[in-house]
Amino acid sequence: MLIALFSSAITLLCCLPAAYASVRLGLGPGWLISFVANLRSVPLVVFAPSVYVLFKQMNLVDSKLGIILIHILVNSPMALLLLASFMQDIPKEIEEAAYLDGANKLLILLKIVFPMLSSSIAAVFILSFVYSWNEFLFALILSIRRSTTLTVGASLFITAWGVQWGRIAAVTTLAVIPPFLFAFYVQKYLVEAFSGGVKE
């Protein structure tokens, strides 16, 4: 739970300003977001050996911080692409009017952009949380004992002496319940985000 919550929250904190800077301030070339998003289409197993070597050198193997960092890196392309597309739906005239009234960029971002994108931000957080909760590959190669997640923990009951189906069923049931309840209570934000994305 800690890994999923922290990685999702930090992903939002990093991608929200980046998406705003790209869409509204014109920072970076126009193809940058598309390029970053396309990186997510590459099979993650391609990066696994390099990630393990890098994290081993940084002493991040078998640590929650290491798994949080890799989940942030994997979630960022999707979050950046979605937030940038949602921000394009906000009329520029609203921000220009606030700027003429004396508001600076930070105030516009905090008082106008973020509240209008509240459902979209919630949707991106939910998607990031669900991915982080269910992620198996990097959680497997970067965990040994202290940072084992539920998805990896379920596989530990497959041993050379047999498969402990009862314990696997118990762990997988436990792993399904939190994201199911979470998605059930916040499904309205997903509907709002992907039907419009912006609160008037």
In a domain, 171, yes or no: yes
87 within 8 A of 113, measured Cβ to Cβ:
yes
| Residue 98 counted as domain residue | yes
**Contact assessment for residue 93 and residue 112, using Cβ atoms and an 8 Å cutoff:** no
What total number of domains does the chain contain? Answer: 1
Does residue 77 lie in a domain region?
yes
Predicted TM-score (pTM) of the model is 0.82
Distance CA 114, CA 123 (A): 13
pLDDT digits (tens, 9 = 90+) for 37-84: 777 778 888 888 999 999 999 998 888 999 999 999 999 888 888 888
CATH number, residue 133: 1.10.3720.10
Is 71 part of a structural domain of the chain? Answer: yes
Residue 92 burial (10 A CB sphere; 0-12, 13-18, 19+): exposed
Angle at 60 between CA 54 and CA 64, to 5 degrees: 135
Phi, psi at 158, each rounded to 5°: -100, 105
Residue 128 lies in a domain: yes
The range of the structural domain enclosing residue 36 comes to: 2-195
pLDDT digits (tens, 9 = 90+) for 76-98: 888 888 888 888 887 888 878 88
Q: Give the pLDDT band of residue 28 (cuts 50, 70, 90).
A: low
User: Could you tell me if residue 62 is inside a domain?
Assistant: yes
In-domain check, residue 200:
no
Helix pair 165-185, 118-134: axis angle to 10 deg: 180
Residue 133 domain-assigned (yes or no): yes
* Residue that is written with structure tokens 């999923």 in the block: 4
Task: Give the pLDDT confidence of 122-180 residue by residue, as tens digits.
Answer: 888 888 998 899 888 888 888 877 888 888 888 888 877 888 888 888 888 888 888 78
Alpha helices in the chain (DSSP H): 2-23, 32-39, 48-57, 64-87, 92-100, 105-108, 114-116, 118-134, 137-141, 150-155, 165-185, 187-195
Q: Per the structure block, which two tokens stand in for 195?
A: 């039907």
